[in-house]
Amino acid sequence: MTEVDPTINMENLNLEGEIETPNKANSNSNSNTKSPPNSDSAFNFGMFSSIPSLNSLKPTEWVSKRRENLKPWTEFASFSKFKKPSSPTQFGSRLFKNILYFQSNYLFVFVFLAIYCVLTSPLLLFAFLAFAGGLYIINLKYKEGSLTIFGKEMGLAQLYSGVGLCSLPLFLVAGAGSAFFWIIGASIFVIVLHASFYARDEQEDPFMMQMNIV
């Protein structure tokens, strides 16, 4: 146990002074030293500011963007560049790169197959024409003034939904479900076949060349 030095005069001991609290100390240090900007928040702001809002993307702008990214069909159908993939790795690499490069062309292939399927099915074509005609008539009537059904004023979205529900039995009879799956299956088959066999500016892997020689 420590003993108090008797020579110290407790009455003359000066205890005056200002005690700094942690908050005050932090404020003083912040006033003297400028804190660096928050790099995480700056990075997040820059990252998200470069992503366009989906709500601001109009259908006409989306179609225009697809047309700008459309590659020449002569390049797309260049038979001299079709080569069999030499390995599963090359198959996957071609598939990934070509889908990114020809994405607009593949979208037009899907649309072409859908149009072909509709045109070759008279009943399905009639169902689509009836559905489009109903939407057109509703749009014309709505421009003249609001439509009232059973004493209730209907909005344009509600009228479109009603036309779709009324056309649904006709689409089912026309075989729209089987046609939809045919379009999806045919599109996947054509896209995978083209993307995996199309060799675009491809350099042969030295390791694979050595394996083929062995």
* Mean predicted confidence (pLDDT) in 35-56: 43
Q: Is residue 130 part of a domain?
A: yes
pLDDT digits (tens, 9 = 90+) for 192-212: 999 999 997 765 444 444 444
Query: Within 13 Å of residue 173, how many CA atoms lie on the same side as its CB?
Result: 11
Query: Within 13 Å of residue 107, how many CA atoms lie on the same side as its CB?
Result: 14
pTM: 0.59
Q: Is residue 38 part of a domain?
A: no
Q: Is residue 22 part of a domain?
A: no
Q: Is residue 23 part of a domain?
A: no
Residue 69 gets which letter from DSSP?
Answer: T
pLDDT digits (tens, 9 = 90+) for 169-181: 888 888 889 999 9
**Number of domains forming the structure of the chain:** 1
Give residue 131's domain range. 87-213
Closest to 190 measured CA to CA, from 109, 76, 78, 85: 109
Query: For the range 128-134, what are the long-range contacts, defined as Cβ-Cβ under 8 Å and sequence gap of 24 or more?
Result: 130/167, 130/170, 131/163, 131/164, 131/167, 131/170, 131/171, 134/163, 134/166, 134/167
Q: What element of type H or E holds 147?
A: strand 147-149
